[in-house]
Amino acid sequence: MLDKQIQPDEKLGKILEPEMVSVNEIIRKRMASENAPRIPEVTTHLIGAGGKRLRPMLTLAAARMFNYVGDKHLKLAATVEFIHTATLLHDDVVDESIKRRGRPTANLLWDNKSSVLVGDYLFSRSFQLMVEIGSLSILDILSSASATIAEGEVLQLTVSKNIKTDEATYLKVIRGKTAALFSAATQVGGEVAGASEDACKALYEYGDALGIAFQIIDDLLDVEGSLQDTGKNSGNDFRERKVTMPFIKAIKNSSKTELEFWKKTIEKGDQNQDDWDTALMFMRKYDAIRDTHKEAQVWVNKAKLALKRLPDSEIRALLSELADYVLIRSK
C-alpha cells in the first residue's frame, strides 16, 4: 500500500487544477447528446467513476513546460481523454470485463452494443476536437496514435492464448495499446506550445517509456494487486488467457511438466479454481514478478533520461517523480 503523502500525480493535479476544470467542462459538454440519451448515461458512468485523468494532465503539463498561452491545449487534453475512454469501453467488451475502477463495467450495466457504439461516438468527438485545433501535425499525431492503439489491441487478440509469445511481441502490444496515447499526449502538448523538434521528440520518448512502464506495472498489479487497490479483480489476465510479462518470464523457465500446465490453462482454457494459485506459485518460483518489476524500472529510467533534454522546471521535476511513482504502484 502507498503511504498518505501527496503523490506526484496529485501534485501535478493541484498545479493544473484550473486548466483541468476547463478540460472537464469541455468533456461534459462534448459527451452530451440531444438525440441519444444513452450516450451521456454510459459516458457519465465511466468518466464519473473517477480515474486520475493522467493522460490529459500530461498534455497540459507539456504545454505548461513551454509557457503556452491560449486554450487549444484544453481541447487537446479533452481529446486525449475521449480517446482513452473510448478504448476502455471497447476493451471491456473484448475482455468481457465486469469491473472497471471498482464499479460494474458499462457493458455489464447496459450491453455490449451500447459500449461499442458509445465508444465509437467518443472517437468521433475526439476527431472533431482535433480538427478544431487547426494543426495538421497535431491531427497526424493523434490520428496515428488512434490507429496504433487499435492495432495494438488486435495484435493482443491474435497473440493471446499463445504461450510461445515472447517479450518482444509483448512490448509491441503494450507500445500500441497503451504507450501510443501517452506519447501522443505529451508530444501534442509540446507541439501546440511551439516547442522545438528535439523537445517534441524528447516529450514523445518520455511518454512512450512512461506508457510502457505503466502497462508493465498494470499487468503486474493484475498478478499481485487487490480489488481495493486497483479497482479490478486480480488474475483477470490469467482467466482471459492473456500472456503478459510475468507469465512470459515464468513460462520461459518452465519444465516440461510445468509447460503442460500452461498449455492446459492458457492455450486450451481448461481452468479450475485452484489453477490461479498454481500459476502464482510458478511465477514466484522463477522470480517472474521480481524480474517484471526490474523491466519496468528500465523503462522508467528511459523516461527520466528523455526528460533531461527538456528545460529544467517544476513541471519537469514532477514528471520525473511521476515516472518513479509508476513503480511504487506495485508495492
Whether residue 304 has pLDDT greater than 50: yes
In a domain, 1, yes or no: no
In a domain, 2, yes or no: no
The mean per-residue pLDDT over the stretch 126-136 comes to 92
How would you classify residue 54: left for phi > 0, otherwise alpha for psi between -120 and 50, otherwise beta? alpha
DSSP 263: I
Cβ–Cβ < 8 Å for 129, 79? yes
Whether residue 330 has pLDDT greater than 60: no
Per-residue pLDDT of 308-326, as tens digits, reads 999 999 999 999 999 999 9
The mean per-residue pLDDT over the stretch 86-109 comes to 69
Q: Given this model, what pLDDT does residue 99 score?
A: 62
Distance of CA 249 to the CA centre of its chain: 22
Cβ–Cβ < 8 Å for 207, 314? no
Number of domains in the chain: 1
In a domain, 32, yes or no: yes
Please, which residues have CB within 8 angstroms of residue 29's CB and are 6 or more apart in sequence?
none
**Which grid cell sits at 17?**
487544477
Q: Given this model, what pLDDT does residue 228 score?
A: 44
The mean per-residue pLDDT over the stretch 72-76 comes to 96
Please state, for a pLDDT cut of 70, what percent of the chain lies above it.
Answer: 88
- The range of the structural domain enclosing residue 198 comes to 8-328
Of the candidates 215, 217, 205, the one whose C-alpha atom is nearest the C-alpha of residue 319 is 205
Lowest-pLDDT range of 39-43, 253-257, 322-326 = 39-43
Which has the higher per-residue pLDDT, 119 or 138? 138
**Amino acid at position 42, single letter:** V
Of the candidates 190, 212, 169, 188, the one whose C-alpha atom is nearest the C-alpha of residue 303 is 212
Angle (deg, nearest 10), helices 72-95 and 17-30: 60
In a domain, 317, yes or no: yes
Q: Given this model, what pLDDT does residue 292 score?
A: 96
**Amino acid at position 227, single letter:** L
The mean per-residue pLDDT over the stretch 126-139 comes to 93
Lowest-pLDDT range of 29-33, 39-43, 121-125 = 39-43
Q: What is the CATH number of the domain that holds 66?
A: 1.10.600.10
| Residue 100 three-state SS | strand
In a domain, 114, yes or no: yes
In a domain, 3, yes or no: no
Per-residue pLDDT of 235-250, as tens digits, reads 888 998 999 999 999 9
